[in-house]
Amino acid sequence: MNVTLLMANQCSSTSVAAALEFFETANVLHHYSLDKPARQHANGAPLFRLQTASMDGLPVACTGGLRLTPDLAAADIHSTELIVVPGFMFNILGVLPQLSGMIEWLRQHHQQGSYIASLCTGAFVTAQAGLLDGRSATTHWAFSEQFARRFPQVKLHTERTVTDDGQLLCSGGSTSSSDLLLHLIRKFASPQLAAECAKKLLVDVAARSQAPYASTTFKKNHSDAEILKIQIWLESHLNSPIQLEQVAERFGLSLRNLIRRFKDATEQTPMQYLQELRIEKAKLLLESSQAAFDQITLQVGYEDGNSFRRLFKQRVGLAPIAYRKRFTTLRQ
């Protein structure tokens, strides 16, 4: 299978290197038994014939300053079966206007039948080409709101680390690219080879979600100064029961006016906002303290530990004890 790994200025060198190493691992394991290194299984062509390309064939400067030299220019590639679009770390929105050549090239090769796998924020590039309209996709959770606003026709599944919609595949943020690369090996080679690659590379093969890694962004860059005061007040009173009627009265608003203005400013209702605040506070306490979850429940303003535990698992994707085990910052 011919695989083209695209490069561009300001792309993530890690995503390019990971793709090369995963596919090369698959090639090696296909030809050799690593349990019996002296035994060679085959001398034929590799499963994945890899080539790297920039649009003009010149070296690219990746995020962090590392320079990568491609094998050839994209214009010299007339046919390829699988294209891997790199991620762009946290600068994708600034870089995207500079990628018109790559975007048009992706359109052309998709029309010719190429599969396109977008790593992390590389999904913005594929979506900008119009190829993800009406299709399932994912991207880094931190960019999900920008992605959804910019590409409303795409069926975005931020909680997923991998989406596969026929010829168009995407991965979530950063290290979840490994999930997609294993998926590609499984899809185009075999489940057994993907499992062997996972073992040798020490990568989990179990289905994952981005939800436990996501942090809610609370919108404060709006023009409603009174609502901003209410947001700050809510943050400092999480450990107390909060009634919206009392909040509205405290700030001289009707309940109806509070709800309307709050949603206009923050894109959430006051109760949704308060719920997210409490979940984020609970996550922080689980990470940084040894407090029992029932105690944390009271500290974030809930009285019923069982109901908050169910809410936490529903929104975060992990039970509190599992979240603490994965993300604790305490010294053992």
Tell me which fold the domain 2-212 belongs to. Answer: Rossmann fold (3.40.50)
Q: What is the rounded distance in angstroms from the CA atom of residue 155 to the CA atom of residue 133?
A: 8
Q: Which residues pair with 50 in a beta bridge?
A: 3
Residue 82: predicted pLDDT: 97
Tell me what pLDDT residue 145 has: 87
pLDDT score, position 316: 87
Tokens representing residue 123 in the block: 């999904």
Residue 227 token pair: 């609502």
Q: Tens digit of pLDDT for each residue in 66-101?
A: 999 999 999 999 999 999 999 998 889 999 999 999
pTM for the model stands at 0.69
pLDDT of residue 328: 74
The pLDDT assigned to 331 comes to: 41
Q: What does the pLDDT read at residue 329?
A: 56
Q: Which residue matches tokens 């085959």?
A: 42
Residues 6 or more apart whose CB falls under 8 angstroms from that of 245 comprise: 255
Give 109-165 pLDDT, tens digit per residue.
999 999 999 999 999 999 999 999 999 999 998 898 899 999 999 999 888 889 999
Q: Which CATH architecture does the domain made up of 225-327 adopt?
A: Orthogonal Bundle (1.10)
CATH topology match: 2-212 vs 225-327: no
CB 74 within 8 A of CB 6: yes
What b/e string do you get for 10-34 counting C-beta neighbours within 10 Å, with b at 16 or more?
Answer: bbbbbbbebbbebbebbbebbeeee
d(CA 184, CA 18): 13
Sketch the domain layout of the chain as residue ranges: 2-212, 225-327
In the predicted model, residues of the chain with pLDDT beneath 50 are: 34-42, 330-332
- Of how many residues is the chain composed? 332
